[in-house]
Amino acid sequence: MARIAFVNGRYAPLSESMVNIEDRGYQFSDGIYEVIALVDGCLVDETPHLDRLWRSLSELKISEPLSRPALKLIIREVLRRNYIYDGIVYIQVTRGVAPRDHAFPQEAKPSVVIYAKRKPLKKLLQKAKTGVHVITVPDQRWQRCDIKTISLLPNCLGKQQAVEQGAYEAWQIDQQGYVTEGTSSNAWIVTAQGVLVTCPASQNILRGITRDRILALAQSCGLGYEERLFTLEEAYQAREAMVSSATSLAMPVIKIDDHMVGNGHPGDFASVLLEAYCLYMKEKSVPVPGLRRS
């Protein structure tokens, strides 16, 4: 069965879905995106994801392409047409099509692309049982990492290094030696004193929706946490480590570069938070009518 995408008002098979070569997303990376997880037929944290999408549009001065209710209807139709029950939905908005010029065009209409694909939760949970390895790379990104822009080349270079070294993710290290975040996830450690630590929300990181949810869950579980900078050396000495994102959940990290984390196995904090997050997804996510497990 061919996968179906929504592209600028039209539903069509991916093989027939196209954008204009003068779309500014293609020529300038002039656009933003969001990824929302779908678990057991339910959208996870849809509202905060859409809030962040609207914020990204505002920060880049891209016009709203459609109303939020209309966007939500399209998301659900894309999921239904693709028979997705566990997976992700990808939303991209660019400034639109215009003759090539660095300055913003006056009359361009934003382009919208939405598609979905399967991503079984079971595989993620299996990986979480053993934990993952991360490497570290210099943070070479621009100074507005808080905007979820499609301009991701430094992230891609870091992720490729991770793949080439057999790692799951790459943590980015700024010029002062602090861990900012992963190439597609937020970074966490648990100190020897048993405090969960993650980089504070600023222009230096993307404020992950899953990151914020984990902080709320840590509080409800009675786990101590701090939003502060931490160095790579502190990470090497940590009791536990973890990465989080919509597509990684709360994933335990058991090795950073060549340094084993703790005893080399997923720790108590990661286990508690992953269990709490899975329960949250089950109880609080928004069901999409008409979806059935295939």
Q: Which residues contact 153 (CB under 8 A, 6 or more apart)?
A: none
d(C-alpha 45, C-alpha 47), whole Å: 6
Angle at 202 between CA 198 and CA 206, to 5 degrees: 75
CB atoms within 10 A of CB 291: 19
| Residues recorded for the chain | 294
CA of 138: how far to CAs of 96, 205, 273, in Å? 32, 14, 28
CA of 259: how far to CAs of 152, 162, 171, 248, 294, in Å? 28, 15, 14, 22, 42
Which sequence positions are flagged as catalytic?
A: 148
**To the nearest 5 percent, what fractions of the chain are helix, strand and coil?**
30, 30, 40
Q: Which residues contact 163 (CB under 8 A, 6 or more apart)?
A: none
- Say whether 254 sits in a helix, a strand or coil: strand
Among residues 158, 165, 160, the alpha carbon closest in space to that of 180 is found at: 158
Among residues 189, 258, 183, 269, the alpha carbon closest in space to that of 229 is found at: 189
